Copies of this chain bind each other. A is one copy, B any other.
Amino acid sequence: MPERFGRRIPEPTVVRLPVYQRVLLGLSAEGVATVSSAELAEAAGVNAAKVRKDLSHFGTYGTPGTGYDVDYLLGQIQRELGTDQERPVVIVGLGHLGHALARSQGFAGGGFRLVGLFDIDASTVGEEVAGQLVRHICELEEVCRREGVAVGIITTPAGAAQDVADHLATGGVSAILNFAPAVISVPPRVQVRHVDFSAELQVLAFYQAHPEAVATRDSAAAWRGSHALRAHAVHQGSHDVHQGSVAFDAPVGADSHGGASHPVAP
């Protein structure tokens, strides 16, 4: 029995949950009934001990000698992630990125519902995007309060991000996903996660400039393994995994082989 309350879930564990969920969605769609920690680990790009440790924080869902029931485990993870409840979301900043996110498939899958788009620019306000009318930022606080908005997505330029964060916080929003290249400060009750495109590029550049600083990944072995598996799958015909598919809607065909091929029960 894990110490159910008070449960202090390590943040790295929380970050891996959506990955496990996505893998399980793929397996479930394939009709795979059970999965071992080793198989789940390989598909998620981590190691088996981590999978078992992560899952043990929430309960004992597996069967020794057999593994985990895919659909049951999926349900448990979705319950933990709160996928059942619908969370109203707003996007602030309707530049190219804001437009792209508004039109993306990323909401529907995970229990999110887009309820508002906001911008400050007169030529953008009033435009219709993804079935929503873009409103002026001066309405932001009121809409957040009225609709009980759970998550605010900031896709403005850096200079506007703090101001928007302040309005979201005042409007009662308690979670912010910040795509603007700026550090924002918020009251303690507000959770912030920062997605920083150009910083990610710079991290990659750093490792290219300093090959000696590259951390040795597990994935070295993982790659050899999955490479063999994938080659094997292609050889056999078409046991391809089409993962998750809470995808951005880019028009590239999804006809290639998946990353995490998996021996399918016969």
Whether A15 sits at the interface, judged by CB under 8 Å, is yes
Residues of chain B within 8 A of A174, CB atoms compared: 208
Q: What's the least CB distance linking A240 to chain B, in Å?
A: 8
**A31-39, A47-55, A61-69, A90-98: which lies at the interface:** A90-98
Whether A215 sits at the interface, judged by CB under 8 Å, is yes
Q: Using CB atoms, name the residue of chain B closest to A44.
A: B183
Q: CB-CB contacts of A94-112 with B at 8 A, as 1s and 0s?
A: 1111111101101101111
Chain A interface size band reads: 35 or more
Residues of chain B within 8 A of A8, CB atoms compared: 213
Q: Which of B110, B162, B252 contacts A95 (CB 8 A)?
A: B252
Once A197-B101, A198-B110 are accepted as A-B contacts, the answer to whether A191 and B162 lie under 8 Å apart by CB is: no
Cβ contact within 8 Å between B248 and A157: yes
Residues of chain B within 8 A of A205, CB atoms compared: 81-83, 87, 110-112, 150-151, 175
Residues of chain B within 8 A of A250, CB atoms compared: 93-98, 119, 155-157
Whether A265 sits at the interface, judged by CB under 8 Å, is no
Residues of chain B within 8 A of A143, CB atoms compared: none
Cβ contact within 8 Å between B212 and A191: no
CA distance A21 to B215 in the complex (A): 22
Residues of chain B within 8 A of A217, CB atoms compared: 188
Q: What's the least CB distance linking A69 to chain B, in Å?
A: 22
Whether A206 sits at the interface, judged by CB under 8 Å, is yes
CA distance A165 to B182 in the complex (A): 30
Cβ contact within 8 Å between B96 and A258: no
